[in-house]
Amino acid sequence: MTTRRHLIAATASFLALGGIAFAQDIRTPAGPRFITVASTTSTVDSGLFNHILPLFKAKTGIEVRVISQGTGQALDTGRRGDADVVFVHARAAEERFVAEGHGGPRRPVMYNDFVLIGPKADPAGIRGSRDIAAALRAIQTKATPFVSRGDRSGTHQAELALWTAAGIDLAATRGSWYREIGQGMGAALNTASAMNGYVLSDRATWLSFRNRGDLDILVEGDRRLFNQYGIMLVNPERHRHVKQAEAQAFIDWIVGPEGQQAIADYRINGQQLFFANAADTGA
């Protein structure tokens, strides 16, 4: 009886061990190395990521999966820990993100500028102005259609700051001429094209935009239209699943010589869309 019990126990142990071995054999192999980057829509809509991300993957083997959102939403994605890296363009909001302990440090990456787009007929009479505040006052005074993203993006935050700089209280003066759509840059440009309205756009998205209709750049060159981009690691101490090593490798690459050169090399119709400036620590 004792021998039989030992045999049964040994058989059970063998089957159990065999079962473990079998389970290990059929486990899905480890998937590709990847990180998730929450980034402003302009890095996607402009085609920049299509240009630079394959270069990074070829260098490191790390795939970058992008969540394309307005800056406010991208920062919220980082706050929830639903991304490993945040790459956006609203410095005050970025610095607040870091100060609150959600990630960092903030590193400058590149810049371009905003431009005020409008119908070629230019009912507000602002074409050629380099004074964005005066242009916005003319649009408000004449109640000509203006399309706002209204989505807490970096572009939307810049637009609101420009209205304030122009001395215009939108809450008190806005009317049917001011239309918030709560969508991205492409949708805002499409709406402005359909309405023959004015809209603030980052230059990169405008240069890559095809459905221009009767729209054209009317105001550019004001220093207040400067548009800086920054990048931050999401805090791995708050979110233990953040892929810190891979994410830091991406940040180091994009602010390093190869990434900066890749950004500088990206052009549409011979025009450079972004200007690398990671070396400017105050940017």
Residues 137-159: pLDDT tens digits?
999 999 999 999 999 999 999 99
- Digit-coded pLDDT (tens) for 61-84: 999 999 999 999 999 999 999 999
Q: Using 50, 70 and 90 to split pLDDT, how confident is the model at 28?
A: very low
Tell me what pLDDT residue 282 has. Answer: 87
Contacts of 163 (CB under 8 A, 6+ apart): 136, 170
Tell me what pLDDT residue 140 has. Answer: 97
Cα dihedral 188, 190, 195, 196 sign: positive
Alpha-carbon gap, residue 18 to 133, rounded angstroms: 75
H helix runs in the chain, sequence order: 2-25, 41-45, 48-60, 71-80, 91-99, 132-142, 154-165, 170-173, 185-195, 203-208, 244-255, 257-265
Burial class (CB in 10 A: 0-12, 13-18, 19+), 258: middle
Q: Is the pLDDT of residue 280 over 70?
A: yes
Alpha-carbon gap, residue 266 to 274, rounded angstroms: 8
Contacts of 11 (CB under 8 A, 6+ apart): none
Phi, psi of 176 (to 5 degrees): -65, -15
Q: Using 50, 70 and 90 to split pLDDT, how confident is the model at 5?
A: very low
Domains of the chain: 34-111+228-276 (3.40.190.10), 113-225 (3.40.190.10)
Q: How many CB atoms lie within 10 A of CB 162?
A: 20
